[in-house]
């Protein structure tokens, strides 16, 4: 086994965008952060040192962490945070995954600037299921906000306001030429006529589903969340926060005398359009090694769908199918299920705490919940409490399998939109096959929720609009080639049905990847018990340097 070693120094670094300079939390001074590069089967060792005043933890988003849950990273779920001046070494093996994933801070909203790609090449001598590209280019989408992030967080948490943290969307940290003061902060990709390129796209934005496209170039989707998919062509990609997508495109052999805009802009429904602006990069053709002089040439612009184009959304998600051919077999979705869950995901309104003013309707405070439980973050890590049999006063195992009262998600919202605050987990015996239907409630606002599950990939076996119907919808489930992912966009006013095998003992977070919703409680944890098969079915013991609480 080859070991890839990294040193991550979390430090403050001054960064200027949109003519505003602010001190950002960075890894090694880089914004966005450095890539982790490895092959399938490699061991990754990252020594993270905290040189800032904030508590920090890092999550390796989409890495399965088989039996190595101590390295997963969500603060107060699998570890207590790394305190100022302290270090923690994350160690994990990349098993049965190749493609693009990403890493990000997993405490408060620090992932705003602390994030970067994880690039996983196939095993040595293994090929891609597509021709080897001339060049591979990661593009990480993010958000830049001029305001101090801490101030925005506090505002969102205390008043429960719909927070707008961003003044610009970014590609690899660059807002691009459609924003004021950003002409020099524009992502540029030089391409040679006739060559094929692989773009590794990561949506690290805090708040927005994004459309992505390049003028006059067709994209071929080949991979999503580090799983190969049946290739399909599209002009535009939709990518939800937390997701990664690999696409190929071929530079034209005789490009017209023009440069081509690369755009990323939000998909949002209802009131959720925090920011309708667009990040722009430039695709530049290089002939015989010299760039074409583009300054006087017309710029071709791709047409992104309207921000509320839900039709595009559902058509796009229908096209995602796992590859599964004889050379690249796909994992199969559980055909039978041991345990079924129906979880509502959505917002609610709670009474404003005494002495505060709140920004929800009638001075209420926005909350978010799963099955009406707004998850309260404990002050010690769930995984430690579980491992050392000290769950008393930390969490209880009464998470409801079904919504506490019937809803009708297509009609008038229920009168009681109040949520219950608690720290509850759902227990799963080892190797349980799970069917989990996530039903969006569309209470308070209309938003798709990007639900991310730690520790597993799940199969998206069905999706639909309106209320999930347990007696008729399963007949239409795709159990043949469903996409295998770690993050699903639960459609606003609709549902998504997932299946997964609980083969990874530990405590696994599941939450909305829209940062305000996570903070407001749209999160929960699964506890997967050890199997009877001894060491190979058991969570490993905690490492010695696990940060104390």
- Binding stretches for ligand C2O (CB under 6 A): 59, 61, 74, 104, 106, 242, 452, 454, 509, 511, 513
Closer to ligand C2O by Cβ: residue 17 or 61: 61
Report how far apart the first and last C-alpha atoms of the chain are (Å, whole number): 33
In the complex, minimum distance from the CB of residue 77 to ligand C2O, in angstroms, rounded to a whole number: 8
In the complex, minimum distance from the CB of residue 149 to ligand C2O, in angstroms, rounded to a whole number: 17
In the complex, minimum distance from the CB of residue 526 to ligand C2O, in angstroms, rounded to a whole number: 13
CA distance 177 to 187: 9
Closer to ligand C2O by Cβ: residue 61 or 200: 61
Across 361-415, the runs of DSSP E, i.e. the strands, are 364-370, 373-375
CA distance 236 to 254: 22
Closer to ligand C2O by Cβ: residue 108 or 182: 108
In the complex, minimum distance from the CB of residue 509 to ligand C2O, in angstroms, rounded to a whole number: 5
Give me the residue whose beta carbon is nearest to ligand C2O.
Answer: 61
CA distance 235 to 49: 42
- Upstream peptide bond of 24 is cis (omega within 30 degrees of 0): no
Distances (CA, A) of 419 to 67, 374, 432, 437: 33, 6, 29, 20
CA distance 206 to 515: 5
338 CA to centre of own chain: 27
367 bridge partner residues: 348
Closer to ligand C2O by Cβ: residue 78 or 166: 78
CA distance 89 to 86: 10
In the complex, minimum distance from the CB of residue 496 to ligand C2O, in angstroms, rounded to a whole number: 17
Paired tokens of 272 = 């959720």
In the complex, minimum distance from the CB of residue 351 to ligand C2O, in angstroms, rounded to a whole number: 28
534 CA to centre of own chain: 33
Paired tokens of 258 = 């023009």
Closer to ligand C2O by Cβ: residue 313 or 454: 454
Closer to ligand C2O by Cβ: residue 60 or 386: 60
In the complex, minimum distance from the CB of residue 454 to ligand C2O, in angstroms, rounded to a whole number: 6
What Rg, from alpha-carbon coordinates, does the chain have?
Answer: 23
Closer to ligand C2O by Cβ: residue 424 or 513: 513
| 129 DSSP 8-state letter | S
In the complex, minimum distance from the CB of residue 452 to ligand C2O, in angstroms, rounded to a whole number: 5
In the complex, minimum distance from the CB of residue 140 to ligand C2O, in angstroms, rounded to a whole number: 13
Tell the burial category of 112 from Cβ atoms under 10 Å away from its Cβ (0-12, 13-18, 19+).
Answer: buried
Closer to ligand C2O by Cβ: residue 41 or 378: 378
443 CA to centre of own chain: 23
CA distance 385 to 391: 5
CA distance 203 to 100: 11
Across 68-187, the runs of DSSP E, i.e. the strands, are 87-93, 99-105, 115-121, 135-144, 168-171
In the complex, minimum distance from the CB of residue 103 to ligand C2O, in angstroms, rounded to a whole number: 9
In the complex, minimum distance from the CB of residue 73 to ligand C2O, in angstroms, rounded to a whole number: 8
Distances (CA, A) of 531 to 154, 198, 234, 367, 430: 42, 40, 43, 36, 5
Closer to ligand C2O by Cβ: residue 17 or 523: 523
Closer to ligand C2O by Cβ: residue 185 or 223: 223
Q: Which residue has the tokens 């998470």?
A: 399
In the complex, minimum distance from the CB of residue 332 to ligand C2O, in angstroms, rounded to a whole number: 25
Closer to ligand C2O by Cβ: residue 330 or 498: 498
Paired tokens of 273 = 């359009």
CA distance 239 to 488: 10
In the complex, minimum distance from the CB of residue 241 to ligand C2O, in angstroms, rounded to a whole number: 8
Closer to ligand C2O by Cβ: residue 98 or 104: 104
51 bridge partner residues: none
Closer to ligand C2O by Cβ: residue 103 or 386: 103
Distances (CA, A) of 125 to 40, 128, 295, 323, 481: 11, 10, 43, 20, 26
């Amino acid at each position: 086994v080859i070991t890839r070693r990294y040193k991550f120094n979390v430090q403050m670094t001054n960064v200027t965008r949109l003519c505003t300079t602010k001190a950002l939390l960075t890894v090694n001074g880089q914004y966005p952060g450095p890539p982790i590069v490895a092959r399938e089967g490699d061991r990754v060792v990252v020594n993270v040192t905290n040189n800032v005043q904030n508590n920090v933890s890092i999550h390796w988003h989409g890495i399965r962490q088989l039996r190595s849950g101590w390295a997963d990273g969500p603060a107060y779920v699998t570890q207590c945070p790394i305190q100022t001046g302290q270090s923690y070494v994350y160690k994990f093996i990349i098993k049965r995954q190749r493609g693009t994933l990403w890493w990000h801070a997993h405490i408060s909203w620090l992932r705003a600037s602390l994030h970067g790609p994880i690039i996983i090449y196939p095993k040595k001598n293994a090929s891609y299921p597509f021709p080897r590209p001339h060049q591979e280019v990661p593009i990480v989408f993010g958000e830049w906000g001029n305001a101090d992030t801490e101030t925005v967080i506090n505002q969102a948490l205390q008043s429960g306001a719909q927070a707008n943290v961003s003044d610009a969307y970014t590609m690899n940290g660059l807002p691009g030429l459609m924003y004021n003061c950003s002409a020099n902060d524009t992502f540029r990709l030089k391409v040679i006529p006739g060559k094929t390129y692989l773009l590794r796209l990561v949506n690290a934005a805090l708040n927005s589903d994004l459309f992505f496209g390049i003028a006059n170039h067709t994209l071929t989707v080949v991979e999503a969340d580090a799983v190969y998919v049946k290739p399909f062509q599209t002009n535009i990609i939709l990518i939800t926060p937390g997701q990664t997508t690999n696409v190929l495109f071929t530079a034209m052999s005789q490009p017209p005398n023009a440069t081509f805009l690369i755009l990323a802009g939000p998909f949002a429904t209802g009131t959720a359009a925090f920011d309708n602006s667009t990040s722009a990069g430039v695709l530049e053709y290089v002939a015989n090694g010299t760039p074409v002089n583009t300054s006087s040439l017309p710029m071709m612009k791709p047409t992104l769908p309207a921000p509320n184009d839900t039709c595009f959304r559902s058509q796009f998600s229908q096209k995602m199918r796992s590859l599964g051919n004889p050379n690249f077999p796909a994992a199969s979705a559980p055909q039978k299920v041991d345990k079924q869950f129906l979880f509502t995901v959505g917002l609610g309104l709670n009474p404003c705490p005494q002495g505060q003013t709140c920004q929800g309707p009638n001075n209420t405070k926005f909350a978010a919940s799963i099955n009406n439980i707004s998850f309260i973050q404990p002050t010690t890590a769930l995984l430690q409490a579980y491992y050392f049999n000290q769950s008393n006063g930390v969490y209880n195992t009464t998470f409801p399998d079904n919504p506490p009262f019937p809803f009708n998600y297509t009609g008038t919202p229920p009168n009681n939109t109040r949520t219950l605050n608690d720290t509850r987990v759902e227990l799963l015996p080892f190797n349980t096959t799970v069917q989990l239907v996530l039903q969006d409630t569309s209470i308070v606002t209309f938003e798709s929720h990007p639900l991310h599950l730690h520790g597993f990939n799940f199969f998206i076996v069905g999706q639909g609009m309106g209320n999930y119907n347990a007696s008729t919808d399963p007949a239409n489930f795709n159990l043949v080639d469903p996409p295998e992912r770690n993050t699903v966009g639960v459609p606003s006013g609709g549902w998504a049905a997932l299946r997964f095998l609980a083969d990874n003992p530990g405590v696994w977070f599941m939450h909305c990847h829209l940062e305000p919703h996570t903070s407001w409680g749209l999160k929960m944890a699964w506890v997967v018990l050890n199997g009877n098969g001894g060491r190979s079915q058991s969570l490993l013991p905690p490492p010695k340097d696990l940060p104390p609480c």
